[in-house]
Amino acid sequence: MTIIAPSILASDFSKLGEELRSIDEAGADWVHIDIMDNHFVPNLTFGPPIVSMIRASTKLMFDVHLMVEKPETLFLALKAAGADRVTVHPEACVHLDRTLTQIGELGIKAGVALNPHTPLSVLEYVLDKVDLVLIMTINPGFGGQSFMPSMLPKLRQLREMLKRHGRDDVYVQVDGGINRETAALVKEAGADSLVAGTYIFNHPNRREAIASLR
Ligand code: DX5
Ligand code: ZN
């Protein structure tokens, strides 16, 4: 079954609680929360206090995508705010293995996000510490960008790599430019967790939007 994780980056921040309840009622599986620091990516969103404030609006799992430098400085606050998974970019972690260990020690799930240019080989020795690999299908920083079809072979190679390591249980997530058409392509290539912002939040019927991705 494909997991659908609406990205609240595309929601109306002036009524985040309502937006969360809306996607919950529309059948979302997880909430994808994009934290950006204007250093690792050229955009700025919000931090743990906002995550904590919206935690009461839904019981859905909080899937936090950290696009920040020194992500380890946020782990404790994010755990306290109710994050269920924290996904980091290897380029932001001097010691990726240590960073993933720190997340695990807090009792939350850990993910690794790969930018379009980042090779799968960075995962080779840390796969035992992750429950999700995020293949970025855009360059991170903004919603509303176009899906990169060049990431489809990467998804297939990741699936093979996970099989080789006996880690078929690891979620293969995609993020960026996901809509009804691109969802079919990424699922065929091995993705089982789909992040979508613009497509779901701009759709006149969010329930239909989520169903069409699944
Ligand atoms: C971008 C974020 C995405 C973004 C996707 O850096 O990681 O989660 O919200 O937006 P759409 O679905 O609009 O491409
Ligand atoms: Zn994201």
Torsion angle, CA of 206/135/88/110, rounded to 10 degrees? 80
Q: Which of 40, 65, 91, 142 to mutate to test the pocket of ligand 1 (most atoms within 8 A of CB)?
A: 142
The pLDDT tens digits for 19-67 are 999 999 999 999 999 999 999 999 999 999 999 999 999 999 999 999 9
Atom index in ligand 1 nearest the CA of residue 147 equals: 14
The arrangement of secondary structure in 3-213, i.e. its CATH architecture, is: Alpha-Beta Barrel (3.20)
Residues 6 or more apart whose CB falls under 8 angstroms from that of 50 comprise 16
Atom index in ligand 1 nearest the CA of residue 176 equals: 14
Instruction: Please check whether residue 129 is in contact with residue 97, taking contact to mean a CB–CB distance below 8 angstroms.
Output: yes
ipTM of this complex prediction, to 2 decimal places: 0.99
Residues 6 or more apart whose CB falls under 8 angstroms from that of 123 comprise 112, 114, 130, 133, 158, 161
In the numeric block, which tokens belong to residue 192?
């089982």
pTM value surpassing 0.95:
yes
**Other Cβ atoms within 10 Å of 12 Cβ, number:** 11
**Other Cβ atoms within 10 Å of 79 Cβ, number:** 17
| Nearest-5° Cα angle at 106, 102 to 111 | 65
Q: Share the mean pLDDT of the chain.
A: 98
The pLDDT tens digits for 163-213 are 999 999 999 999 999 999 999 999 999 999 999 999 999 999 999 999 999
Residue with tokens 């990726």: 96
3-state class percentages of the chain: helix first, strand second, coil last, to nearest 5: 45, 20, 35
Q: Is 34 annotated as a binding residue?
A: yes
Question: Is any ligand 1 atom within 6 A of the Cβ of residue 145?
Answer: yes
DSSP sequence for 21-41 = HHHHHTT-SEEEEEEEBSSSS
